[in-house]
Structure 1
Amino acid sequence: MIQLPSNVWNGDEPEFFDPPENWDVSVFRMKGDHAPPVAEDEIIKALREPTGTRPLSKLAENGGEAAIVFDDMTRPTKLELIAKAVVEELSRAGTSDIVFICANGAHGTYDREDFVKKLGEEIVENYPVFNHNPLANLQYIGDTSAGTPVDINAEVMSYSLKIGLGCILPHPQYGYGGGAKIVLPGVAGIRSIIYNHGVLGGWSAAMAVRDLHPTCQMAYGRVNDENILRRDAEEAARMTNFDFIVNTLVNTKRENTHVFAGDIVEAQRRGVEVARVHYSTQISFEFDVVISNAYSKASEAAIATWPSLCLKHGGTLVVICNSRTGQVSHYVHGRWGMRKKGGYLYLPPPDTLKKAGRVVFVSKYQEKQPWLEIYEDAVRVKTLEEMIEVIGKDRKRVAVFPDATIQKPF
């Protein structure tokens, strides 16, 4: 019996997979799969002994206000303990005017229930929490050296102390998340995001006629500081005078296993040194079936298609995705209709899927509207038992990836 994490942000109840006896099954887990969660005192220590800057309470001494920017529901980070620790450190320094801003970038908006899941009831009851709007309430602060117009959430810019909370994960465009990504795209305007992602990186339907920037090709968990999008975002973060970041790594239970705090660039660099090993996954090839579970970033399930590279040509890719909310509404890369594909930088299906002869999409929450274009021609089933019936119980080499949205093959 194989246990697969599932139902992110909605009970996190796992799925149990009992493969047929004739299947030769290999389970590929990331190295940090069973890493233990950080203790509360480790969080406090990180805030008081940060990387590349003064302790958070010292940074807060010269003012009584702070904007805390936190990652959205597309990220698995449980921030309740971290948010409380940050507020306590700010309170020790006399900070009483605190606002929380969700770094939803071009991801649409969230509601009170989401904010409670992310930050905890106590924070939502006692502090104002807002969505970022990439279309309005922006302050233009100049252009980066690469030409990106930097429009940043005006509420964030109005506070003298700016703090970010989030996680470091492998990322298909930036190589790794965390750090300055909380600023651009997190609380940036739509034209900033379009220039950064599209003009610099090349991420759009135009990929059919032009190459991605070399530092963006196969970026997922492979590059970081050399990545052109990250360098641009870090320059933008410096322009905003962003003061402090708290980034974590997570295991496949979404527990925070490491915490890195301090300067928005230096702390992220330190975290990536550990992340390179933590999320790494030993892989093999020429499987008849690859079962790829989308959990931590289930609302961005396209990320879970990379294990198709382990298939035999024409093999079967199974994607498991129990996302009660479906796929994230992405104003830049997303699809906005059946006839008109929408987003400014609409993304076509990834090339990695060309190796698959068939895609089976397993979800309790099927929709007539395609969640992702890559699944339009997929066989859709609601249970793992149905999936087995579709594939057949005859002898097969099968690979299983418990959370392909955060595992990386490099």
Structure 2
Amino acid sequence: MSNILRLPQLACDGTKELELPLPDDWQTEAVHMAGYNRPALKREEMRTALCRPTGAPRLRELARGKKEAVIIFDDQTRATRISEIAPLVLEELAAAGIPDDRIRFVCALGLHGPMYRRHFIQKLGEGIVSRFPVYNHNAFGNCTCAGTTKTFETKVYINEEVMKCDLKIAIGLVVPHHIAGFSGGGKIILPGIASSETIQDNHMMGHKSREKQKEKPEIGMGFYDNNPLRRDVDEAAKMVGVDFLVNCLINGQGETVALYTGDIIAAHRGAVQEA
């Protein structure tokens, strides 16, 4: 069979091609997303983006005088190349005088399964995993209440290890999302590091709202500005007090092509507008 369609798989251990054999008499065409072949950012370009945040001071300025820092990152279900971004974040923390033993990483699993050391190495790199404590979020215990949202009246219970830190940094990816409109932004907090009850309450209210809005939907793929589930998520993120967000856009090979940094709402909005 000579008619083969080749598609990229954004595997956690590198981009691979998936070969799909098709009947010879089929005429096929791969329709790529905008930015599919956009060139990846060079390291210095990433550093520049990190140093020019939106709606927030530079990270090293925010970090000065802080005692405990946490870097929250997304899991293997996202193609984010944290291993390229996190070292630049660590440079900023070092410039602010925060020592290694005051920094930890927490994986925002939500209700996904745990990651193991080999997964952490794939995501963060051997250097970071060997140098810093790296934890999986546990949605079933050790969560503390940060407040209640106005949108859905969701009781926001959040990872206790994160809440005890006075500097909270989040790194994630912006792609279309079937309920929240787009991933990224506050979703690293809810569902990322929230309790199972908080996640279920937020998702259930989101689905109920979508059922009521069939004629004029506001929840779903690409819906952002008036999306009540997104509002609920962003409220939770502000309650938790995320100090600095790093959100990226990727091309068809999973390479980072844009970085938006700074305030968790403003930086995410910028990424969404380009996505």
Correspondence for 1:245: 245
Superposed counterparts of 1:157-176, under 5 Å: 157-176=163-182
Q: Does the Cα contact within 8 Å between 2:251 and 2:257 map onto a contact in 1?
A: yes
Shift of 1:89: 0.7
Shift of 1:56: 0.3
Correspondence for 1:57: 60
Shift of 1:212: 6.2
Structure 2: 5+ residue stretches without partners: none
Shift of 1:187: 0.5
Superposed counterparts of 1:389-408, under 5 Å: none
Correspondence for 2:135: 130
Q: Does the Cα contact within 8 Å between 1:165 and 1:246 map onto a contact in 2?
A: yes
Correspondence for 1:187: 193
Could you tell me which amino acid in structure 2 is paired with residue 246 of structure 1? Answer: V
In 2, the alpha carbon distance for the partners of 1:200 and 1:29 equals: 30
Correspondence for 1:381: none
- Residue in structure 2 matching 1:78, options 71, 78, 81: 81
Deviations 1:47-86 (A, max 9, x none): 2110010000000012142110000111111111100000
Q: Does the Cα contact within 8 Å between 2:106 and 2:134 map onto a contact in 1?
A: yes
In 2, the alpha carbon distance for the partners of 1:102 and 1:138 equals: 15
Correspondence for 2:145: 140
Correspondence for 1:99: 104
Could you tell me which amino acid in structure 2 is paired with residue 268 of structure 1? Answer: H
In 2, the alpha carbon distance for the partners of 1:7 and 1:183 equals: 24
Shift of 1:19: 4.1
Larger radius of gyration: 1
Shift of 1:39: 1.1
In 1, the alpha carbon distance for the partners of 2:125 and 2:38 equals: 23
Could you tell me which amino acid in structure 2 is paired with residue 43 of structure 1? Answer: M
CA gap of 1:13–1:226, structure 2 versus 1, over 3 A, is: same
Matched, 1:197 2:199: no
Q: Does the Cα contact within 8 Å between 2:10 and 2:253 map onto a contact in 1?
A: no
Could you tell me which amino acid in structure 1 is paired with residue 250 of structure 2? Answer: V
Could you tell me which amino acid in structure 2 is paired with residue 259 of structure 1? Answer: L
Shift of 1:42: 1.7
Could you tell me which amino acid in structure 1 is paired with residue 238 of structure 2? Answer: R
In 1, the alpha carbon distance for the partners of 2:24 and 2:37 equals: 27
In 2, the alpha carbon distance for the partners of 1:11 and 1:163 equals: 25
Aligned to 1:102, what secondary structure does the other structure show? strand
Deviations 1:277-305 (A, max 9, x none): xxxxxxxxxxxxxxxxxxxxxxxxxxxxx
Q: Does the Cα contact within 8 Å between 1:225 and 1:269 map onto a contact in 2?
A: no
- Residue in structure 2 matching 1:112, options 117, 121, 124: 117
Correspondence for 2:230: 230
Larger fraction in helix:
2
Q: Does the Cα contact within 8 Å between 2:13 and 2:122 map onto a contact in 1?
A: no
Correspondence for 1:256: 256
Q: Does the Cα contact within 8 Å between 2:242 and 2:264 map onto a contact in 1?
A: yes
CA gap of 1:236–1:7, structure 2 versus 1, over 3 A, is: closer
Could you tell me which amino acid in structure 1 is paired with residue 198 of structure 2? Answer: S
Correspondence for 1:352: none
Shift of 1:211: 4.4
Q: Does the Cα contact within 8 Å between 1:196 and 1:229 map onto a contact in 2?
A: yes
In 2, the alpha carbon distance for the partners of 1:215 and 1:4 equals: 32
RMSD value over aligned CA atoms? 1.7
Q: Normalising by structure 2, report the TM-score.
A: 0.92
In 2, the alpha carbon distance for the partners of 1:54 and 1:249 equals: 22
Deviations 1:307-347 (A, max 9, x none): xxxxxxxxxxxxxxxxxxxxxxxxxxxxxxxxxxxxxxxxx
In 2, the alpha carbon distance for the partners of 1:165 and 1:79 equals: 7
Q: Normalising by structure 1, report the TM-score.
A: 0.63
Superposed counterparts of 1:269-348, under 5 Å: 269-275=269-275
CA gap of 1:7–1:170, structure 2 versus 1, over 3 A, is: closer
Q: Does the Cα contact within 8 Å between 2:170 and 2:246 map onto a contact in 1?
A: yes
Shift of 1:23: 1.4
CA gap of 1:17–1:195, structure 2 versus 1, over 3 A, is: closer
In 2, the alpha carbon distance for the partners of 1:39 and 1:132 equals: 31
Structure 1: 5+ residue stretches without partners: 276-410
CA gap of 1:238–1:34, structure 2 versus 1, over 3 A, is: same
In 2, the alpha carbon distance for the partners of 1:9 and 1:106 equals: 19
Shift of 1:126: 0.1
Correspondence for 1:379: none
**Count of matched residue positions in the alignment of Structure 1 and Structure 2:** 267
Shift of 1:7: 6.6
Q: Does the Cα contact within 8 Å between 1:64 and 1:94 map onto a contact in 2?
A: no
Could you tell me which amino acid in structure 2 is paired with residue 231 of structure 1? Answer: R
Matched, 1:9 2:12: yes
Matched, 1:42 2:39: no
Shift of 1:10: 4.3
Could you tell me which amino acid in structure 2 is paired with residue 113 of structure 1? Answer: R
Correspondence for 1:313: none
Aligned to 1:12, what secondary structure does the other structure show? strand
